[in-house]
Amino acid sequence: MLSFLETDKDLLKYSSFHTPATARYFFELREKQDIPKLHNIWGFAQENNLPIVFLGSGTNILFAFDIFEGIIIRNTLKGIEWKDNIVTVATGELISPLSLQISKKISEKFKTSEKWPHGPDKSFIRSGDMWNSCENRSHSSPEEGLSEGDVLKSTTSEDTEIWTWSSHFTEVFSLFGKWVGLPGTVGGAVAGNAGCFGFEAKDTLIQANIFDMETGEYITLRNKELDFSYRHSILKDYSNWFLVDTIFRTNLISDDTTNPRTFRSGKQPGGFTCGSFFRNPPWDSAGRLIDQVWLKGHRIGGVKVSEVHANFFLNDKKGSYQDILTLRDLAKEKVQEMFGIELQEEVRIIENK
């Protein structure tokens, strides 16, 4: 037994479903200097045939057990380093406040360089951005001959190389503004390629720094090596890879002025929930399907399908994981019956094997 492991840890407050659960072994990783301990934990787990689960804020997991016969590693590593248009973030940082900071910095930078005598700061506009995404320009396209609605093209194969033109802006919106209000840690967001309003982790991540618990060594993966897809990254396939830091590109702007907080408060319920329980099937929405089978407001024990958003399950009366699983089964069964569609969980369900 490793002296730094806690035993029989109450997990109630570590999942946003807030269901009762206990972990036989638990470790909270707060400091980078303790990362090598993960290698010892791996050895201990192998000797005793124990599963290991990484935990961020627990906003996308369901503890489906009374006592987990394994090891939960909770990540609260903190640290943010800024360098030009790049930010290196420890994965225990929360994604929403980080995004707010990035958005403010981007707006501030634009304000201070409102007029560029020699064209705008190259680094702000990416190849692939729409020309009309830039507001209030003083005159239209520059020597490249772009006109409104054109997609900017890179002069090189690197998408960081930028077209330039003479113009100025009075206001810009950072793409990170879309993540303000997104619950959870940076680690959870990258592992699950979280996203909303069309902006996903894969759109900003440059590099991921990973600790391999099995070998005790660090590895670095570039964006393309992370195998991102809808709510998936390669990290979900490797139980020995703990994500330590991520490097994000911050100079991403948006022409969408939707306030994500207002949108969420109008369309999503508050309370003990893990957000969307199911993934959206191709070209459809899980919420719409569950609504169509008349399950909005349906209750099992202490858990119900939200009346506001049918893909949100709410634990509003001290429900259990069994209540949630029963409601899940019912929703799957009804949607399968009526539409022939098999809903897949977005929430990760952790069970004793």
Cβ neighbors of 197 (< 8 A, separation 6 or more) are 178, 256, 258, 260, 263
Report the distance separating Cα 271 and Cα 262, nearest Å: 16
Is there binding between residue 57 and ligand FAD (CB under 6 A)? yes
Strand partners, 27: 73
For residues 104-118, one letter each, b for 16 or more C-beta atoms within 10 angstroms of the residue's C-beta and e for the rest, the string is ebbbebbeeeeebee
Is there binding between residue 174 and ligand FAD (CB under 6 A)? no
Choosing from 62, 194, 295, 303, the residue that interacts with ligand FAD (CB under 6 A) is 194
The contact mask relative to ligand FAD for 117-156 (x = CB under 6 A, - = no) is ----------------------------------------
Residue type, 347: V
Query: Among residue numbers 269 through 288, which ones bind ligand FAD (CB under 6 A)?
Result: 273-275
Nearer to ligand FAD, 135 or 345 (CB): 345
Is there binding between residue 195 and ligand FAD (CB under 6 A)? yes
For the record, the structure tokens of 157 come out as 């194969």
Is there binding between residue 185 and ligand FAD (CB under 6 A)? yes
Catalytic member of 126, 233, 306, 346: 346
Query: Among residue numbers 89 through 108, which ones bind ligand FAD (CB under 6 A)?
Result: 91
Between the alpha carbon of residue 111 and those of residues 87, 123, 124, 169, 252, the distances in Å are: 20, 15, 13, 8, 16
Choosing from 72, 189, 310, 331, the residue that interacts with ligand FAD (CB under 6 A) is 189
Helix (H) or strand (E) holding 186: helix 186-191
**Catalytic annotation on 103?**
no
The number of residues that bind ligand FAD (CB under 6 A) is 33
Catalytic member of 231, 249, 264, 328: 231
Decide if 179 contacts 196 (C-beta within 8 A).
yes
Catalytic member of 276, 306, 320, 328: 276
**Catalytic annotation on 348?**
no
Is there binding between residue 233 and ligand FAD (CB under 6 A)? no
**Catalytic annotation on 233?**
no
Q: Would you call 207 helix, strand, or coil by DSSP?
A: strand
Is there binding between residue 39 and ligand FAD (CB under 6 A)? no
